[in-house]
A and B are shown apart, each in its own frame.
Chain A
Amino acid sequence: VSLRPRFLPALLMRRGALIKTVRFGEYSYVGDPINVVRIFGEKEVDELLLLDIFASRENSGPDFSTLNKLLPECFMPVCYGGGVEKIDQMRELYSMGIEKISLNTATLENPGLITNAANEYGSQAVVVTIDVKRSAFGRYSVRRGGQDVSRDVPSYCRTLVERGAGEIVVSSIDRDGTWAGFDCDLIRLVSGAVNVPVVALGGAGSDGHLLPALQAGASAVAMGSMSVFQSKGMGVLVRFPDASVQDDIVRQLRINE
Chain B
Amino acid sequence: MIAILDYGVGNVGAVCNMFKRIGAQAFLATEPNEVLRSEKIVLAGVGNFDNALKRLDQSGLKDPLLERVAAGNYLLAICVGMQMLANGSEEGVEQGLGLIDGNVLRFTEDRGRVPHMGWNEVNAVKLHGVLAGKPQEKFYFSHSYYLKCSDEADVLMTCEYGGEFTAAVQRQNVIGVQFHPEKSNKHGFQLLRNFDQL
Contact = CB atoms under 8 A, between A and B. Distances in A.
Interface of A: 1-6, 41, 44, 46-47, 71-72, 74-78, 91, 94-100, 118-125, 166-167, 195-197, 219-220
B17 A44 contact: no
B143 to A, nearest CB: 6
- Size range of the chain B interface in the assembly: 35 or more
A1 B161 CA distance: 8
Given A41-B185, A75-B188, A97-B11, A121 B48 contact: yes
A3 B116 contact: yes
Interface in B67-118: 80, 91, 109, 112-118
A166 B161 contact: no
A175 B124 CA distance: 43
B115 A95 contact: no
Summarize A's interface: helix, strand, loop or mixed.
Answer: loop
Given A1-B160, A120-B9, 8 more contacts: A72-B17, A75-B189, A76-B185, A95-B12, A96-B13, A97-B182, A100-B142, A125-B10
Contacts of B91: 122
Interface in B3-30: 8-14, 17-18, 21
A220 B161 CA distance: 16
Closest 3 CB pairs of A and B: A97-B14, A94-B10, A124-B115
Nearest to A161: B114
B183 A76 contact: yes
Nearest to A46: B119
A118 B91 CA distance: 12
Nearest to B21: A75
Contact of A167 (B115, B119, B188): B115
B58 interface: no
Nearest to B49: A122
B107 to A, nearest CB: 10
A4 B141 CA distance: 12
Nearest to B20: A72
B20 to A, nearest CB: 9
Given A97-B17, A122-B144, A219 B10 contact: no
Contacts, number: 121
Contacts of B188: 75
Given A77-B140, A94-B46, A95-B11, A122 B112 contact: no
Contacts of B116: 3
20 contacts: A3-B112, A5-B118, A47-B118, A75-B189, A78-B183, A94-B9, A95-B13, A98-B11, A99-B11, A99-B46, A100-B142, A119-B48, A121-B51, A122-B46, A122-B47, A124-B115, A125-B10, A166-B115, A197-B118, A219-B113
Contacts of A5: 118
Contact of A91 (B10, B113, B119): B10
A121 B47 contact: yes
B126 interface: no
B128 interface: no
A249 to B, nearest CB: 14
B48 A120 contact: yes
Query: Which among B11, B80, B112, B120 has the highest number of chain A CB atoms within 10 Å?
Result: B11
A44 to B, nearest CB: 5
Nearest to B51: A120
Query: Which among B48, B113, B117 has the highest number of chain A CB atoms within 10 Å?
Result: B117
A100 B118 CA distance: 12
A77 B180 contact: yes
A123 B144 contact: yes
B118 A44 contact: no
B171 interface: no
A1 B120 CA distance: 11
B48 A2 contact: no
Nearest to B142: A124
Interface string B147-177: 0000000000000110000000000000000
